Amino acid sequence: MQMKLLDQSWPIRGTFTISRGSRTHAKVVVVELHQGSYVGRGECVPYARYGESIESVLAELAPLAVQIEAGLTRRQLQSLLPAGAARNALDCAFWDLECKQSGQRIWQRLEIAEPAPLVTAFTLSLDTPERMQQAAIENAHRPLLKLKLAGEGDVERVAAVRAGSPDARIIVDANEGWDEALYLKMVPELVKLGVEMIEQPLPADNDAALEHLPRPITLCADESCHDRSSLPNIIGRYDMINIKTDKTGGLTEALALKAEAEKVGLQVMVGCMLATSLAMAPAFMVAQNTQVVDLDGPLLLAEDRQPCIAFDESKMNVYPAALWG
């Protein structure tokens, strides 16, 4: 078996802004595993918030070429690399290769039911209330909108979106941009505006305060939740976790995290970084039978790889085997 590494850049439709900055391109790393006539692929998004970059992920993966040629397995990989983007791409490439070599779809390999189409949230980038309202009007037909927030002015942003899309369900993502005082100010107003969930309101290293703060709206851990080792600090602070394969280090750990979270009574959201359909496909499997699906990455890109996941507006259809798994 041989490994090939690719770094790619995919243009975003316009500019995507969150509390930590703006981007015009989604930069990804793709791992290809070649064995005979079979090729397995996996895609990841290095994330600076976690100390990752295209260069650091390539540097993590490149030394494994010799071990892969010597027969490294997906199970051995789990303890060889930490949870994160690099392991995600390689883990998903292993799964894809297993499917192609066996002639089975991923759900057959996992011995679970064939997946069903999913309805994903659609993300509105952080902007002025006026521009976010216009974006809400343009996407008022979508059943679930996710708003990127930042701090001061957030009530005005949510109110503008609610006015622009009165019938949509709304969830919000603060990306660690609030403090306790702002949380206490924001939450009663968001209750009035019908917000159903708040994602990562406080910084991950300062979220213990959530143990004593009121939680009239479901709170979801994102930056505070990576893999199963995160769960002890999440119980009692959050009601839901956001599982992303780039955080868990692949489909293998994502499925294990989902099972463990459900066992301890946490709700599950499955999210994504800005990436192509190749990155969404493994997450699509994790997202089956979860409370919130946020896999709109390809909808935010100006173009997607082919073949890709077919979207009917916000509905994700089951993807072709030629894409992944």
Q: Is 315 a catalytic residue?
A: no
What are the φ and ψ backbone dihedral angles of 286, each rounded to 5 degrees? -65, -35
Mean pLDDT of all residues in 212-222: 97
Closest-CA residue to 243 (of 208, 207, 293, 279): 293
Cβ(118)–Cβ(287) under 8 Å?
A: yes
What are the φ and ψ backbone dihedral angles of 78, each rounded to 5 degrees? -60, -35
Mean pLDDT of the chain: 96
2-104 and 118-316 in the same fold: no
Residues 6+ apart with CB under 8 A from 131: none
Locate all alpha helices (DSSP H) within the chain, ordered by sequence. 54-61, 65-69, 74-80, 85-102, 106-110, 129-138, 154-164, 180-192, 231-234, 245-248, 251-263, 277-286
Which one from 100, 146, 148, 258 is the annotated catalytic residue? 148
Positive or negative torsion for Cα 151, 153, 159, 161:
negative
What's the CA gap between 98 and 240, in Å, rounded?
31
Residues 6+ apart with CB under 8 A from 3: 31, 32, 33, 34, 61, 64, 65, 68, 90
Homologous superfamily in CATH for domain 118-316: Enolase-like C-terminal domain (3.20.20.120)
Q: What is the pLDDT of residues 24-74, one digit of tens each?
A: 899 999 999 999 999 999 999 999 999 999 999 999 999 999 999 999 999
Q: Is 244 a catalytic residue?
A: yes
**17: pLDDT strictly greater than 80:** no
What are the φ and ψ backbone dihedral angles of 275, each rounded to 5 degrees? -160, 180
Please give the CATH topology (third level) of the domain spanning 2-104. Answer: Enolase-like; domain 1 (3.30.390)
The whole model's pTM is what? 0.96
Helical (H) or strand (E) element with 269: strand 267-270
What's the CA gap between 261 and 249, in Å, rounded?
16
Q: What is the pLDDT of residues 96-109, one digit of tens each?
A: 999 999 999 999 99
What's the CA gap between 316 and 120, in Å, rounded?
7
Which one from 100, 146, 244, 258 is the annotated catalytic residue? 244
Domain boundaries, the chain: 2-104, 118-316
In this prediction, residue 21 carries a pLDDT of 76
Query: HSE-up of 244 (CA within 13 Å, CB side)?
Result: 26
